[in-house]
Amino acid sequence: MDTKTLVAVIVVAVLAAVLGYAVGLLSTDESHATAITTTTVTKNTTATVTVTSRTVLGINPWEVYFSPDGGAANRLIYWLDRSNKSVCAMIYSFTNDDIAAAFIRARQRGVDIKISMDKQQHTVSGSEYQTLLNNSIPTRVDERSGLMHNKVAVIDGKIVITGSYNWSNAAEERNRENLIIIQDPALAATYQNNCEAVWNASIP
């Protein structure tokens, strides 16, 4: 075996070992590849904000935000502003102007949007329902019995945003709520199917 062949064999062996180790981290012992990061920020004497995220090999598959004043609205807006294909949403209470503005910007970029709202909440004072319609955002009302109590957005078929957090000023500023953002195409597909089913059962 000449020197060049020997070097090539060694390089291939090293690459195979590195690849095998990386795959092993993901499939057998994820703890070695996972970092849990919790950041606590005291905004004033009465409010402490805690943000938790999980990073796997440079990917950030989930984030959690807690209200009041935990940054949930800003993070929801962050992801809406980065949508480029589709957003399917189901929301019980929607009165936050800034979140509505993010949907309007997405629509102006050509993002395919579907929003289903609750039959009781879409007409309350401050509801964004009419604002969405006025800006050509497809929005429907689930008129079936029971509440349409979901708080979900599926972005680009790969990101799920959900939790107890309504898209309202009360949820952001007063209530104790949670918002979780999960980057997982398989999970997103499941939520997308449910979102489409609710949309199809709702009326304009």
- For residue 66, what pLDDT is reported? 96
Asked, for residue 11, whether it belongs to a domain, the answer is: no
Total number of domains in the chain: 1
Asked, for residue 26, whether it belongs to a domain, the answer is: no
- For residue 97, what pLDDT is reported? 98
pLDDT in tens, 163-194: 999 999 999 999 999 999 999 999 999 999 99
Asked, for residue 19, whether it belongs to a domain, the answer is: no
User: What domain range includes position 195?
Assistant: 35-201
- For residue 177, what pLDDT is reported? 98
Residue 58 backbone zone (phi > 0: left; psi -120 to 50: alpha; other: beta)? left
- For residue 53, what pLDDT is reported? 56
Asked, for residue 21, whether it belongs to a domain, the answer is: no
Q: Is it true that the peptide bond before 68 is cis, omega within 30 degrees of 0?
A: yes
Give the pair of three-digit tokens for residue 73.
């609205």
For 63, list phi and psi in degrees, rounded to 5: -135, 145
Strand pairing class (177-183; 159-163)? antiparallel
Q: Please state, in angstroms and as integers, the Cα–Cα distance from residue 203 to each residue in 73, 114, 116, 128, 140, following that order.
A: 27, 12, 9, 17, 5
pLDDT in tens, 122-144: 999 999 999 999 999 999 999 99
The domain that contains 45 carries what CATH number? 3.30.870.10
Are 110 and 104 in contact by the 8 Å Cβ rule? The answer is no
- For residue 130, what pLDDT is reported? 98
- For residue 43, what pLDDT is reported? 40
Enumerate residue ranges in the chain where pLDDT < 70: 1-60
- For residue 2, what pLDDT is reported? 60
Asked, for residue 107, whether it belongs to a domain, the answer is: yes
